[in-house]
Amino acid sequence: MADRLTTEQEAALRMGARADAADPDNGTWSRRRSQDVKGAFDIIVTYQKGEQLCAGHILHSDDCDRIISARNAVPALLAELTAVRAEKAALIEAIESIRRAHEKPHGGYENILPDVMEAAGPAFALAKEMKGNG
C-alpha cells in the first residue's frame, strides 16, 4: 500500500506545479531558451497557454527537465487520482449497501433476495458504467 498524500501535501504539490503561472489552468511549462550569463542562470522556463507566454522560473540545467516533466504531469495526476478515489469510494459504498441489506434480519433465505437485489441494482449499474468508461 502506498503512503497516502496528506491534504497539505496535495495543496503544496498543486501550488508547486502552478507557481508563477499567470493563468494556471491547461497551460504547459517548457524550456524557453538557454542563457549563459556569468555562468549563473542556465535555463529560463516558460509557461504557455494559447498565445500567452510568460517567463517563469530560472532553473539550473541539472534537474530542469525532470522538474518540467513533473510540473506538467501533476495536474493530470491529481485530477485522475481524485476521480479514481471517487470511483473506489462509490464502489465500496455500493458493496457496503449490499452487505447491510444482507445483514438485515430476514427470517429466511428466500426473504433475503429482494433486499439484496434492490441494494445491488445501483452497484451493478455503477460497475457497468465504469467498465463502459474504462
Q: Looking only at residues 28 through 57 of this chain, which bind other proteins when binding is defined by CB under 8 A?
A: 38-41, 57
Q: Is 1 in the site for other proteins (CB under 8 A)?
A: yes
Q: Cell 498543486 belongs to which residue?
A: 14
Q: At closest approach, how far in Å is the CB of 29 from other proteins?
A: 10
Q: At closest approach, how far in Å is the CB of 94 from other proteins?
A: 6
CA dist., res. 75 & res. 42, Å (int): 26
Strand order in the sheet with 52-59: 28-37, 41-49, 52-59
Which residues lie below 8 Å from residue 115, measured CB to CB, with a gap of 6+? 101, 102, 104, 106
Amino acid at site 130? M
Q: Is 21 in the site for other proteins (CB under 8 A)?
A: no
Which residues lie below 8 Å from residue 133, measured CB to CB, with a gap of 6+? none
- Judged by CB under 8 A, the number of residues near other proteins is 64
Interface contacts to other proteins, rule CB under 8 A: 1-5, 9, 12-13, 15-17, 19-20, 38-41, 57-60, 62-63, 66-67, 69-71, 73-74, 76-85, 87-88, 91-92, 94-96, 98-99, 102, 109-110, 112-113, 116-117, 120, 123-124, 126-127, 130-131, 133
